[in-house]
Structure 1
Amino acid sequence: MSTIPIILLAAGRSSRMGGTDKLMQKIDGQPLLRRTVKIARAVAPVIVALPPAPHPRHDALAGLDVRQVPVADAKEGMNASLRAALKHVPDTADAAMILLADLPDLTADDLAKVLRSVSENPGCLIWRGSASDGTPGHPVVFASCLFPQLRTLTGDSGAQSVVRAHRDKVHIEPLPGTHATRDLDTPRDWAAWRARRQAKN
């Protein structure tokens, strides 16, 4: 198992889902959130940023060996979750992987491939998964020297400003198809994804 922890950002409001929670949608009989955490946990320790309890997302993770981090100011956006989770990354960690919770096609092999790229490309500071056509996506690994910059971020823009500031130190690791880029934010996204998945099966 990797010594680089995975920070799973799962405190968002699912504001585009029309009143339902995208992370609680069922895939193979389990909520997307639980499924994603289990995939991540297969390759590295996991820190999950969550809305404050009580919340169904906490219940969805019952029995899993992960660090749950309630984010009091989750309404601020993604970077509140990132700041809160970073507090729980061990001081000995050389890097941390940032992973969104709504990427249903990512596999444990995909995550492991991006983690391996850290040691295979030691001259970089950021290692990022991409679609097979090179379109940048997730997950994204940040070297520990960038943690101070990540801790200053606010709002819902994610860490794109940090990536841009160090664009010459970014390694892109292609993953199969659109594994790194297909997220499910709306009911239409979910319906289309389920139809494609059923057609393949």
Structure 2
Amino acid sequence: MKLTLILLAAGDSRRFDGNKLFTPFHGKPMYQYIVEEVEKLPDGLFDDKIVVTQYPEIMEDLEKRGYVVVENVQSSRGISHSIHLALEAAASPDGEEASYCFAVCDQPYLKAATIEGLIEGWRNSKRGIGCLCNMGEFGNPAIFSESYRNELLALEGDVGGKRVLRRHIDDLYLHEVDDGLELVDIDVRPV
């Protein structure tokens, strides 16, 4: 089954008071953490890599790193719009069964080994959805098989895949992380 990584990096950072993706976090822009962790993963783990963003700097950087770049010029329509754009770009012309691993670019503590463990556990589980969790809290990345594509495309506004995930708990693989810090996304500027 084809697995596509989709990095979501188009948000307006309204709660952050500035562009969090470019804000230095321990010496480098926040978005680079997930990119560097993905580069540590085994070759071939993802068949394709897509980034959805509105920022030219991210487009230029990730295109050089082999990502398909999808520009979101309507980020105000919320995360669902980024999901729609990514799924349109990930459409498989050969009809091969696909799955999609959605990750966000504001989780600087997430580790490559955790991503790899999620994917391996999800594949072994034979479930249609997988996500990270810590003590009952769902987190990103989240993986959806092709059978959930239409539900993801039906999302509207600033609503993401967790809405679909919660509807299908019976088809959900949860990959517990020991360190809940890995699931923390930085939504407000540190004081």
Structure 1 position 156, deviation (Å): 0.6
Give the equivalent residue in structure 1 for 2:185. 183
Q: How does 1:49-198 map to 2 (within 5 A)?
A: 49-51=52-54, 55-61=56-62, 63-91=64-92, 92-122=96-126, 124-131=127-134, 133-188=135-190, 191=191
Contact 2:51 2:62 in 1 (8 A): no
RMSD of equivalent CA atoms? 2.1
Structure 1 position 21, deviation (Å): 1.1
Instruction: Return the structure number with greater relative CO, CA threshold 8 A, min gap 6.
Output: 2
Change in Cα spacing, 1:180 to 1:30, as seen in structure 2 (3 Å) is closer
Structure 1 position 42, deviation (Å): 3.7
The whole-number CA distance in structure 2 between the counterparts of 1:161 and 1:74 is 19
Query: Which is strand-richer, 1 or 2?
Result: 2
The aligned amino acid for 1:97 is: C
Change in Cα spacing, 1:3 to 1:30, as seen in structure 2 (3 Å) is farther
User: What TM-score do you get using the length of structure 1 for normalisation?
Assistant: 0.82
**Identical amino acids, percent of aligned pairs:** 22
Pick aligned residue for 1:22 from 20, 35, 45: 20
User: What TM-score do you get using the length of structure 2 for normalisation?
Assistant: 0.86
| Runs of 4+ residues over 6 Å off in structure 1 | none
Structure 2: any 5+ residue segments left out of the alignment?
none
The whole-number CA distance in structure 1 between the counterparts of 2:181 and 2:153 is 28
Matched, 1:37 2:35: yes
**Partner SS, residue 51 of structure 2:** strand
Give the equivalent residue in structure 2 for 1:47. 50
**Partner SS, residue 97 of structure 1:** strand
Deviations 1:118-165 (A, max 9, x none): 22101x21111012x232111110011111111121101112221122
